[in-house]
Chain A
Amino acid sequence: MKVLITGVAGAIGRLVARRLLEKHEVVGLDTAVWPGRPRELTLHRVDLRKKGTDDIFRRERPDTVLHLGSVRHTFDETLRHDVNVVGTKKLLDLCAAHEVRRVIVLSSSYVYGALPENPFYMDEDTPLSVSRHYPDIRDLAELDGLATTFLWRYPEIATSILRPVSALGRRAHSTMAGYLRLDFSPVVTGFDPMLQFIDEDDLARAIALCVEGNQRGIFNIVGPGALSLRSGIRLAGGTALSLPDPLCRALVGTLFSLGLAPAPSDAVDFLKYPCTIDGRAFREATGFTAEHDLVQSLRSVRG
């Protein structure tokens, strides 16, 4: 099997690529370099949105495409939207045109949004409400929506959309990992939502498992359970800085504009309300369960 991975030089991309290389041929696509990459891996340094991508599809003829190449940080709004929406659309069109048999798109559990009335275990049918209070990352919901449309439009292509919880570990660059690495993590007075995490190794294993399977559909991916925000900060070795809601938003907003916080003030909703998901469908479809312990993963955040 020949697997094309976009965003292969990212933390999760590297872990997945190493796993897949054991059994498959892997072609990587990224704008970034990956020094010290495995020799067997072919890396094309190309921007998804540029012309070169078409030709890679023509030459490499991948059977499977794994789309990890989305921008998660919020520092450059235009780039984010362009890569996540325009780039994904182009990639999916190429998959349809070049007879790719299997497409896996990495989305995120953030797409459901953190709302006070969220049930504890949101399943895949839950509406994607993130842009209601956090419009800056609406492109995540749009990326997910594009992939869902693709899933329905091409029944002959086995498409999977994965919505994992925040990844943790020494290498992971998730927003939550960045937040937990702060010396003082701002929290909102009187609020302490439950959070779910998955270890980066477990997430890579889940994605590799999905690549090798043929499950069509949308899947939440969860790790080994949940704990509260403040417990998480304590285990990661940080200190919770409790501030009333308006002050917390002002502080996060200011830090973000200075490049010192990983997300803007709208993200404070994720520090107040739960965005916890039901991972049953993926577990039943693939038999995946997390191997890493929640406590160990949190302790490993600072490396």
Chain B
Amino acid sequence: MAANTKASSGPAGAPLVVKEDEEQETPAAPGTGAGGADNRGSERGRPSGRRGRTIALPRRAPASPMAPPRPSRTAALRPEETAGLPERLIGLAFDAFGPSYLRDLAREIDEAIARAPLELNALGYDPWGFQRDAARRCFLATALLYRWWFRVEARGLEHLPAGRLLLIGNHAGQIALDAAMIATAGLLEGNPPRLIRGMGEYWLPRLPWIGTLMVRSGSVVGTPKNCVDLLEHGEAVVAFPEGVRGMNKSWSERYQLQQFGRGFMRLALRTRTPIIPVATVGSEEQAPSLGSFEPLAKLLGMPAFPLVLTPIPLPVKYHIEFGEPMWFEGDPDDEDRVIEEKTEEVKERIAEMLASGLERRAGIFF
């Protein structure tokens, strides 16, 4: 284990602002930024080789990438400006004739979205394409799965401190329902509710509807820039370093963590973000697969084509455990070997949580 690694729970709610950040942030007066993009190369400067030294946040202060919020002078929006006609009719019909259980659930989601720390503009969009009304519909669907299909039991949500967070979990189940259930847990059971944002595969935006739903419900394409921007803005991001290796694992590989990517650790070090290990028990059995049929995957341009044995995910019981925050320090540009020691530490923690979760449960469906 790296000697400089400190894995302890931070004070809940403590702002993660570091002194250097503040100093960088102030001199943004006109004139000092002379050069903008062109002299960034030199600004970035490689941190001197010593390993484990705490370094200042590279590049620029964690200013938010969108324009600062300003008082709105907009006249009230007319209904036809907020949504298309079919959408508005369905909304009215739902409010009038929808089953009361669904209406209550929708109200619960509305309240959670209202309480979550979000920055919405006049049209309900946040700076990353999340939209209040579209997200409400997405979360209504996932909340039904959460309550009735997977009967999710979430524990440890009190471990989510305010401010930037990187949730790291095991990934399985052929489709990213684990991410959806983690996000639903954060919204419905977090106190205060948190919008947990997924980092989607690069090919998802190419799919009609799926890509749009992904963005409207708060997720983004999983590029490093998106991740850094979100974390610097104080958001909670969930990532699965197993990636496709994990999502499309076969039945025989269930609960065996695949190789972890290192990118998440570099981003966590660069943005000084605590890591929350998340263990999901259940997802690994929801869609038994024989493996991936590579030629077809290649043909369709998909990362994998799983040979799934069930037409829909099985109603397995989900147990999601959010672990205590892990804080890491070090040089984000360190050698792979050094970064890997840290990612292994997270992987081990998740493996332990998975083992205890599997021990606790009564059976796959209970």
Contacts and interface: CB of A to CB of B under 8 A. Distances in A.
A252 interface: no
A281 B37 contact: yes
A224 B37 contact: no
Contact of A120 (B77, B202, B207, B226): B226
A114 B51 CA distance: 39
Interface stretch (A5-13, A65-73, A172-180, A211-219): A211-219
Given A194-B125, A226-B127, A283-B67, A119 B229 contact: yes
Contacts of A214: 31, 34
A196 to B, nearest CB: 9
B125 A125 contact: no
Contacts of A260: none
A235 interface: yes
Interface in A233-248: 234-235, 240, 245
A124 interface: yes
A301 interface: no
B6 interface: no
Contact of B127 (A116, A213, A225, A293): A225
Interface stretch (A94-102, A104-112, A284-292): A284-292
B88 to A, nearest CB: 11
A125 B38 CA distance: 9
Contact of B38 (A117, A151, A226, A274): A151
A28 B27 CA distance: 36
A117 B67 contact: no
A273 interface: yes
Chain B interface, DSSP helix/strand/loop, else mixed: loop
A124 B60 CA distance: 14
Interface residues of B, number: 53
Contact of A215 (B33, B82, B226): B33
Interface in A246-303: 273-274, 278-287, 289-290, 293-296
Contacts of B203: 116
Interface in A175-193: 188-192
Given A192-B212, A217-B36, A119 B223 contact: yes
Nearest to B212: A192
A183 B75 CA distance: 23
B30 interface: yes
Contacts of A282: 36
Given A116-B211, A120-B229, A227 B37 contact: no
B36 A285 contact: yes
A295 B202 contact: no
Nearest to A289: B67
Interface string B19-36: 000000000111101111
A230 interface: yes
A285 B73 contact: no
B205 A117 contact: yes
26 contacts: A119-B223, A119-B229, A120-B127, A120-B226, A121-B66, A121-B225, A125-B40, A190-B209, A191-B211, A191-B212, A214-B31, A219-B36, A225-B121, A225-B125, A228-B129, A231-B82, A234-B80, A234-B83, A284-B60, A285-B33, A285-B36, A287-B29, A287-B30, A289-B68, A293-B122, A296-B74
Interface of B: 28-31, 33-40, 60, 63, 65-68, 70, 72-75, 77, 80-84, 121-123, 125, 127-129, 131, 202-203, 205-209, 211-212, 215, 220-221, 223, 225-226, 229
Given A116-B202, A273-B205, A285-B36, 7 more contacts: A116-B221, A117-B202, A224-B67, A235-B81, A245-B208, A279-B67, A287-B30
